Structure 1
Amino acid sequence: MMRRTVGAALLALAVAAPATADTTSSPGPEPTELGGTPVVGGSAGQPTQLVAGLWSDTLVGPGEDPANTRWFSYTRAMAQSRVFVGVVASAVDPVNDQIRVEVRSSDGEACGSYDDSTASSAPGVLMGALKVVGLENDDPACLSSPELRIAVSRGSTSGLASSMPFALRVVEEPPLPSDDDSEPPADHFLQTLATDEAAPTAGARSFDDAPSVDGTVRDQVPQGTERLWKVHLDWGQALAWRLQVPSRPESETSTPDPQVEVTLFDPMRNAFDGGAVDAETSGSYGFDGADLSDTTAPIADAQLSGDAALVPGDYWVAVSVATSPTDDAPIEVPIELTVGATGEKTGAPDFPDAVTGPGGRVGPAGYDKSTPFLVGDGVFSADVSGTPTSPDDEAAADPDVRRIAGFAVGAASLVSLLAGVVLLRRRARFSRAAAR
């Protein structure tokens, strides 16, 4: 069966890309930049082949139409491995938009799906979902299948004709020894961080440009936007954050109080809540202000806690402010954000000394138990950070090719379609369509 390769997709995009992009519209807020090397997803019968890494594409139209689903394939480099598949998208519809990732074995066996959706009750701009294949309770076909099929769609959403950009990240981890005595992660408790003198540090509208923070920073977040900060976690560490929003001046109270929300993104760029007991992740810029905080579970070899892939690497703290429902000028909400990596760096799993490939083949070159994560084309790492590319993949690594291909994939359509859109979302955990 013929399949499109990443190299062919990049070449086609570079040839077809316009010399310039129309940027004359869009008075609304700019969308968050997702990052990733542009590719074009295929069909169920002819998926686009991917290697480990971060990729970007665009969904068009309703998720219920199979023709609008993007299909990819990934071939395991290690037998019986865990494959992390994360997808993040910029919401377009403020109430009824969704991103969904589904994984199947090469013979079509369902390995599970997960989704995230928007709603008018909260202001988030980004949606993220994660599927991990290779857990002990997975179907045997999903544990052993050398090839995995990945479908990205807008879930059950229908009636939408707008384009929605997304980024897809694939990371592979070697199998861990079975532990029949392992327990699911227990409830963990809130750690309320003490604040220190706030340093002015502007949050980014891009994952790749997010500034690192360890302490207290201050910024002003405009209505209708989401801003990102980054922190690195190692084995045994947890992420704790605290967001303080001051009382709103009486001179500004003629307009509705803007809602403020904090969302975390794990190294797969999947959206999740820390899940600590008594956590508060949303409030408003009003008379009483807000004091929000949450704490994640520590990173351990259990790998999963709630909706997150707790692996060592870069995590993001995203602060979003809802767009004004009136025609008044948008308000910039002052915030102070305190972030800390708590706990000792300890508890790394005992990864195997050597691995084999699927079907008993020779294992991948470059593997070492100290760098177990396959994060790029032939690139192994001790954690899941950055967006590495293969040294041989000059076309994918070249910033000019990325920029031109990005225009071809959908940047021009985003400029017109995202203009003036109200970007809101809720963390609707209870409504998600499937389980890992």
Structure 2
Amino acid sequence: MNDRRRRHRTSLAAVAVLCTAGVVGGLIPGSAQAAPGAHERTYRTAGPRISGGESSDNAASLAAGGPRVDSIGNGETRFYSVDLDASSTAYVSAVAIPPPGSGIDAYKDEIRITLTRLDGGRCDAALAGADADDVAHPFGTAVVRQPGSGTSARCGDAGRHLVKVERPSTPTPRAQRWTLEVRHMREPAVKGGPTEQPPKGSWSSQAPLPTTETPRPRPGGTGFNDATALSPGAWKDTVEPGQTRFFKVPVDWGQQLLTSIEVPSPAGSTGKPTGSAGFLSDALGATLYNPGRALLATNHFISYKGDQNGSRIGTAPLAYANRAAHSQAAVRAASVAGWYYVAVSISPEMERYFKDGVPVTVRVHLKGTPRPGPRYDGSATAGGFGVGKDDERAARRGQSAAEVRQSDQLRAVAYGGFALGTALLAGLGAWKLTARRRAASPGASSAAGGGPPGGGSHSGW
């Protein structure tokens, strides 16, 4: 009987330990595990495969939602069809991803996106291209169908529309097939709320940026799908030459995003080029995209010669009415709240200066306080737009909103495991105390029917 009790007690203790230590080690966020893709060089695509048609007659259907993955060769064209309603704003984006080391011509390598009606009437067109020779970096943009704007008379009706993605033919040496990530996003119609533009002259993209904060480590992602969230402050990463890193910042209505990307002088350098390092005309690239993946700003790569150098890009204050601004495409793109993406690309030639990766500092400043925005006829966050509490927490933690929700769920499970383990241990202790008292009572052994004849004593627990 003693052995049976001892085994039962040991089993309960093991269960309690598993419910606490097991949950702690396996579920609590922040445990020491290598981040997936932490050392990957290439853009991490997301979503299922899609094969764009070679003509409008066999265009592939592109539903609103997550990204799809295709490819496009030199001189090829891809066709997709999208079903649009009469009230939502539609964003259809294409991101070209040349393989690392492929030949790139900054003046000729590009993609062109066109949105048309079935009868060929054009709704919108956009272009994005490589910004530096022989720097194979992702680039893209989006076309937009905005009801109520100047295109509404031609493209405001509900129905099927066509999207054409072209890669012009170029004689670029080492030209390779590019991965192509396409996405159709839908912003709900507006049914009220503030939609006015900021007063003219009330903002500047060259507003002062705080530079005194010490940068904290936060490695960037490989693309839009795993971009690292940033909150206002200074952040640092080490980027291998030839790589691109993606970051994202939640920007709300009325706020203006200002960023700077900086590269220092090499360690131990006097700031002057030495040996064969020399002058690099295309060293550091920075590109800014809006939540619909539309190109908002680019620095077209800046030079580097051993001195600290940097680049600044930013947005206009976000306002729904910015989309009606006809003068500047960058202002029109700053017309929806949500995640704004910053892509930082480093030329392979930077290895001349930095053998162990290029230290990059990204400074983020949000000017202005969030203001009430338009009231949507539906969920903007479900379509990939807007700023919620999960997004703000994600920026503070350096996570995606989905990772924040997953972390909260795992933390709840962990706390539940602690509670269960504590209850089991408390129950085990009470059972042990009761058993001792019974063992110490006269006749307890014989009453149990398990004691030796004559009322001999049991060994203690």
Settle same-fold status: TM greater than 0.5: yes
CA distance in 2, matches of 1:89, 1:282: 18
The counterpart of 1:318, out of the listed 325, 336, 343, is 343
| C-alpha distance in structure 2 between counterparts of 1:213 and 1:244, whole Å | 16
CA deviation string 1:300-321 (max 9, x = no partner): 1125362435322212222211
1:312-363: CA deviations, max 9, x gaps? 22122222111229999966222221113332211412445xxxxxxxxxxx
What is aligned with 1:410?
Answer: none
SS of the counterpart of 1:194? coil
Q: Secondary structure at the match of 1:206?
A: coil
Aligned to 2:58, the other structure's residue is in SS state coil
1:57 matched to which residue of 2?
70
Corresponding residue for 1:88?
A: 95
Does the residue aligned with 1:324 lie in a helix, a strand or coil? helix
1:171 is matched with 185
Q: Could you tell me which residue of structure 1 aligns to residue 119 of structure 2?
A: 107
Letter in 1 for 2:329: G
Q: For residues 264-318 of structure 1, what are the alpha-carbon distances to aligned partners after superposition, in whole Å with 9 as ceiling and x for unaligned?
A: 12212233318xxxxx785444343114323311211125362435322212222
Q: Which runs of 5+ in 2 are unaligned?
A: 1-39, 392-399, 403-461
1:111-148 deviation per Cα after TM superposition (whole angstroms, max 9, x unaligned): 13111112546957121122111351116231114111
Aligned with 2:78 (options 70, 77, 97)? 70
Secondary structure of 1:157's counterpart equals coil
Unaligned runs of 5+ in 1: 1-28, 63-67, 275-279, 353-367, 389-436
Q: CA deviation at 1:192?
A: 2.8
Q: Secondary structure at the match of 1:315?
A: strand
Identity of matched residues, %: 25
More displaced, 327-336 or 221-230? 327-336
* Secondary structure of residue in 2 paired with 1:37: coil
Structure 1 match to 2:285: 261
Q: Secondary structure at the match of 1:294?
A: strand
Aligned to 2:395: none
Q: TM-score, normalised by structure 1?
A: 0.65
Task: Output the CA distance in 2 between the equivalents of 1:209 and 1:131.
Answer: 23
- SS of residue paired to 1:273: strand
In 2, the alpha carbon distance for the partners of 1:316 and 1:173 equals 18
AA paired with 1:343?
A: G
User: Match of 1:30?
Assistant: 41
TM-score (norm 2): 0.62
- Structure with bigger helix share is 2
The answer on 1:197 being equivalent to 2:214 is yes
1:140 to 128, 137, 153: 153
**For the residues of structure 2 that align with 1:174 and 1:87, how far apart are their CA atoms?**
21
1:128 aligns with 2:135: no
1:306 to 329, 335, 338: 329
- Give me the whole-angstrom Cα distance separating, in 2, the residues matched to 1:86 and 1:240: 24
Distance 1:183 1:271, change over 3 A: closer
* Moved segments of 4+, more than 6 Å: 181-185, 325-329, 384-388
Letter in 2 for 1:242: S
Does the 8 A contact of 2:196 with 2:320 survive in 1? Answer: no
Q: Which residue of 1 aligns with 2:296?
A: 272
2:360 aligns to what?
335
RMSD (Å), alpha carbons: 3.5
- The higher relative CO (CA closer than 8 Å, separation ≥ 6) is in 1
Contact 2:44–2:226 (8 Å) recurs in 1 = no
More off after superposition, 237-246 vs 122-131: 122-131
Alignment of structure 1 residues 287-298 onto 2, 5 Å: 287-298=306-317
